[in-house]
Structure 1
Amino acid sequence: MGTGVSFRQQLLRRKPVDAFRTDATSAPEGSALRRTMGTFQLTMIGIGGTIGTGIFFTLNATVPKAGPAVILSFVLGAVTAALTALCYAELASAVPVSGSSYSYAYATLGELAAVAVGWCLLLEYAVSAGVIAVTWGQYLNELTERLFGAQMPAAISAPPGAGGFINLPAVILVGLCCLLLVRGARESALVNTVMVLVKLGILVLFLVVGATGFNSDNLQPFAPMGVAGVGAAAATIFYSFVGLDTVSTAGEEVRNPRRTLPLAIMFALLVITAVYVLVALVGVGAQPWTEFEGQQAGLSAILEKVTTAGWPGPVFSAGVVVSVVSVILIILYGQTRILYSMGRDGIIPPAFCRIDPRRGTPVTGTLLVGGFVALIAAVVPLEQLANLTSMGALVAFAVVSIGVIILRRREPNLERGFTVPGYPVVPLLSIGCCAYLVHELPVDTYLLFGGWLVLALVVYVLYGRHHSRLGA
């Protein structure tokens, strides 16, 4: 740490954009991430990290709130996500490095804000990965029950508090995803692409078969709960769009990142929005909206009614299993790249940014992250922590939008591969939408989130501020 630097100066010091670019381009061979991905693979990462289990079951929770007008709720959710995605696209093209909103906050708001955002992202990724890994075991049990009439014992397939001792399937899933990530980004992107195509194929199957049972009478009355119902459902649906930010964690592993990053973000958002809106339209058209509440198995139950056959259940259970694998893979990938950036900046120990020269991946960081997530998924009941995922994501999203405004003012001539249209209205609307959704979260989430940020500050004061490369 440099002498004569006050604590306040340490908290507010910013990392210049040129320094980020230098880090990404001047690392010795064998100690840097490898640029192996193109626009298509990166788009698949965005889709794979966003379309998870939610779309298979979200209609059951949202249609009772909005009725057939849930279609508009999906559109509102997509608009909110698009506002943030546009801001991500601009910053990703201006600061094309790993680290996502952590790096953007470091370049615009300063070191303390970057640390807080980095920990928000760790909270979002780690907790969501743990929750999703736990649900994978449940879906796997459902699939084996449908196919073979048997399930794994609860003692080894559920965490404490949910009737078991250890969630072994979740541990195995996280371990396999970590091994794949250790092998390399190219291999991980290829496997993810295959799984995303399978996932999209399952949803297209629902659209084609479900459309045969479409009845326009099911769309009446269109908005039985009024505008308030549409808004309430949109607040729930928005979380189905969380995951797009994983695209921006790959800034140092894509070719021509200034062009590729914004294109992949936009393409992923378009595909996700089209799939969500069409699934909602077919779903409420094929079944009266009053029958959604309490319905189990989501989309497969609708198809079973339309076809009067039993095959949709196993098909969709298999689709959910594949869907969860791709989501876990991308979440772990994104988290390791954020930690890589934080380690390179000296904010956390350098073990997280150490690159294996043969594989070109942060092996040590990947194994540490995998071990932590596997531990969470194996033994921690996570129901009370689920809202923390949303809190961490929304805070990070808001910071990105703020960062666009600051960087436009501070460095108006900075080279950008993409600029937000409608500036400054779009970033301000994005901030407002995020603030509204944060306001909707329960009080206990605020308390847990505050405790998490206090822990982040303690780690920074004791370690980060003394080892920060900006202090050298």
Structure 2
Amino acid sequence: MEANIDSKLKVSLTTKDLLIYGITFMIPVAPLAFYGSFLQPANGMVSLAYFIGMVAMLFTGFSYATMSSTFPYSGSVYTYVQQGTNAGLGFIGGWGITLDYFLIPAITYLISQSFGESLLPWVPGWVWIIVLVIFNTWINILGSNIVTKISWILFGLQAIVLGAFILGTLRLLITGAIQPHVISWYNPTHFNISGVLQATGIVIVSYLGFDAISTLSEEAENPRHSVGRAIIFSIIAIGLLFVIVTTLAGFVAPAYQNLNPDTAFLRILQQVGGTWLVKLADITIILSFGFASGQEGQTAISRILYAMGRDGILPNSLAKLHKNYKTPTNAIVLVGIISLIISLTLSQTTVSNLVSFGALFGFILLNLSVIWKFYIKGDHSSLLSFIKYAISPFIGFAVSTWIFLSLSIDAKILGAIWIFLGLGILITKTRFFKTKTPSLDFSNKN
């Protein structure tokens, strides 16, 4: 069974919208929340870990750009692996990455809840989560163009906080209150490349989300070019920002051993700008994780479910669009309900251990699909095609596999259960592979 593509999603997103969507999804102020947890494994060399992570993710980003230029449709890994290999493997790849996207809103809600309880201790944590879920579900139903407008606003708020930190640090440098330091890049006393690589495996989570840009292909103007560009630019932009922020943090507090991992960056902000900057950062973290990233995670997963519902591999009701807003309402509401249940029943630690499994599983299959379709089955006659369609995706595959293998055993077990559940759906839908797996029909598309 093949489904014809006759998308009625509202087209309204420019390259800039996609870029801000991707950057906001990856949360520019993320180092403020996670910096302390990276210090010890990296022996202070957090900037080096972020830089290695940026370069590593770029290769998978190149694979996304290759696929998005050829298949500019919703579904992300689901669509790309399906068209690069076969429909069954495409469903398993898409099913795997849905685990990541189901968990992203939940982890952002839990982080917002923890910072919210610190800022307003008299407000119960469950209130934060319920308010976030209801608001984000409503905004998503209104449309991705509304989501991106909110992303622009919250991106501006994050820029104010980071700008204040950067300017404050430069002021301290100029006045001689602090001195430049290389600790964030090279710690001669405790240099350990295995520790840096271990930290890289952790900070790589900060880059997950660039792939969500591809889920908006059918709502983007000129998606064959804009989606790939936005993916690559977002990885570079957020990576350089992470590197700059953590390098300056190393200037302010080179004695990283004396920092409390839970409040490391807040102490640095206190030294740079005082209490007002710390409070503004608290508010920004709550809004950025809970609203910006939470909304965008819900947008991304709802588009993947929409594509699967449109094919018929999942219930067709998931592909139903709102008659006025042209958004997959049923898919959006389903994601909201699941996110609410996860956020109210699981701990932040449990969700954090699971969140990378689905994305890395999808990255592995995506990179292999590029090699298979464009090099082995396609053009392998030139040096350029060898580099673009073999070397680059192989590096992306190798990096993703390395990080995947370093995940906790709990994440691997629960992730494997999720994959086997997907296999069960596929076997049931195809009657033990006796019938053809539902897939997209590109025969009438350019």
TM-score by structure 2 length? 0.89
Matching residue of 2:275 = 310
2:65 counterpart of 1:89? yes
Asked if 2 retains the 8 angstrom alpha-carbon contact of 1:216 and 1:285, the reply is yes
Match for residue 347 of structure 2 among 361, 381, 384: 381
- When residues 311 and 424 of structure 1 are mapped into structure 2, their CA distance, relative to the original with a 3 A threshold, is same
Q: How far apart are the structure 2 equivalents of 1:170 and 1:419?
A: 48
Distance in 2 (CA, whole Å) between partners of 1:193 and 1:421 is: 36
CA distance, structure 1, for counterparts of residue 70 and residue 181 of structure 2: 47
Query: Pick from 103, 118, 121: which aligns with 2:94?
Result: 118
Superposed CA deviations along residues 349-388 of structure 1, whole A, max 9, x for unmatched, are 0111111221111112111111111121123335324222
Question: Aligned letter for 1:431?
Answer: F
Q: Is 1:362 aligned to residue 328 of structure 2?
A: yes
1:349 corresponds, among 315, 319, 327, to 315
Between 171-180 and 67-76, the greater mean CA deviation after superposition: 67-76
Residue in 1 that maps onto 2:152:
193
Map 1:70-469 to 2 at 5 A: 70-144=46-120, 150-153=121-124, 157=125, 167-214=126-173, 215-216=178-179, 218-219=181-182, 222-223=187-188, 224-291=190-257, 293-307=259-273, 309-324=274-289, 325-409=291-375, 412=378, 422-463=388-429, 468-469=437-438
CA distances 1:209-267 after superposition (whole Å, capped 9, x unpaired)? 12333444643573423322222221111111011000000010001111111111122
Partner secondary structure for residue 251 of structure 1: helix
**Matched residue SS, 2:262:** coil
Give the secondary-structure state (helix, strand or coil) at the position aligned to 1:424. Answer: helix
Q: Is the 8 A contact 1:33 1:252 kept in 2?
A: yes
Aligned counterparts of 2:56 and 2:314: Cα–Cα separation in 1: 33
1:359 partner SS: coil
Whether contact under 8 Å (1:63, 1:292) holds in the other structure is: no
Task: Out of 323-332 and 65-74, give the one that drifted further.
Answer: 65-74
CA contact (8 A) 1:63 1:289 kept: no
Q: Report how many residues are paired.
A: 426
**CA 1:302 to 1:425, structure 2 compared with 1: closer, same or farther past 3 Å?**
same
Per the normalisation by structure 1, the TM-score is 0.84
- Percent of aligned positions with the same letter in both sequences? 22
CA distance in 2, matches of 1:340, 1:105: 17
CA shift for structure 1 position 464: 6.0
Q: 1:444 to 1:258 in 2, by over 3 A?
A: same
Letter in 2 for 1:141: E
* 2:27 counterpart letter in structure 1: I
Query: Is the alpha carbon distance of 1:277 and 1:419 closer, same or farther for their aligned partners in structure 2, counting shifts above 3 Å?
Result: farther
Cα contact 2:59–2:396 (8 A) shared by 1: yes
The residue type paired with residue 170 of structure 2 is A
Q: Displacement, 1:52?
A: 6.1
Stretch deviating more after TM superposition (284-293 or 193-202): 284-293
CA distance in 1, matches of 2:40, 2:336: 38
- Tell me, what secondary structure is at the counterpart of 1:347? coil
Q: Is the 8 A contact 1:64 1:289 kept in 2?
A: no
Residue type at the aligned position of 2:122: Q
Is the contact between residue 210 and residue 306 of structure 1 (CA under 8 Å) also seen in structure 2? yes
Q: Report the secondary structure of 1:352's partner residue.
A: helix
Q: What is the deviation of 1:180?
A: 0.6
Whether the 8 Å CA contact 1:219–1:284 is kept in 2: the answer is: yes
* Counterpart Cα distance in 2 of 1:260 and 1:452: 32
Tell me how far apart the structure 2 counterparts of residues 359 and 303 of structure 1 sit (CA, whole Å). Answer: 42
> Structure 2 vs 1, CA of residues 374 and 77 (structure 1 numbering), >3 Å: closer, same or farther?
same
What is the CA distance between 1:292 and its match in structure 2?
5.6
Cα deviation, 1:96-151, whole Å, max 9, x if unaligned, reads 0000011111112222212221221111011222122122122122223xxxxx52
Q: Which runs of 5+ in 1 are unaligned?
A: 2-14, 145-149, 158-166
CA contact (8 A) 1:71 1:280 kept: yes
After the TM superposition, list the runs of 4 or more consecutive aligned residues in structure 1 that deviate by more than 6 angstroms. none
In structure 2, C-alpha distance between the alignment counterparts of 1:200 and 1:61, rounded to whole Å: 23
Aligned amino acid, residue 48 of structure 2 = L
Sort the Cα spacing of 1:48 and 1:170 in 2 relative to 1 into closer, same or farther, 3 A.
same
1:5-50 CA-partner distances (Å, limit 9, x unpaired): xxxxxxxxxx7xxx7xx61xx45xxxx1111110111111101111
Quote how far apart the aligned CAs of 1:398 are: 1.4
- Once the two structures are overlaid, the 10-residue window that deviates more, 419-428 or 319-328, is 419-428
Contact 1:345 1:468 in 2 (8 A): no
Q: Distance in 2 between matches of 1:328 and 1:292?
A: 33
Root-mean-square deviation (CA, aligned residues, Å) is 2.4
**What secondary structure sits across from 2:219 in the alignment?**
coil
AA partner of residue 275 (structure 1): L
Residues of 1 paired with 2:59 and 2:118: CA distance?
37
* Alpha-carbon distance in 2 for matches of 1:419, 1:336: 34
Query: Deviation string for 1:285-316 (max 9, x for gaps)?
Result: 11124346524334331021234x32222111
Q: What are the ranges of 5 or more consecutive residues in structure 2 without an aligned counterpart?
A: 442-446
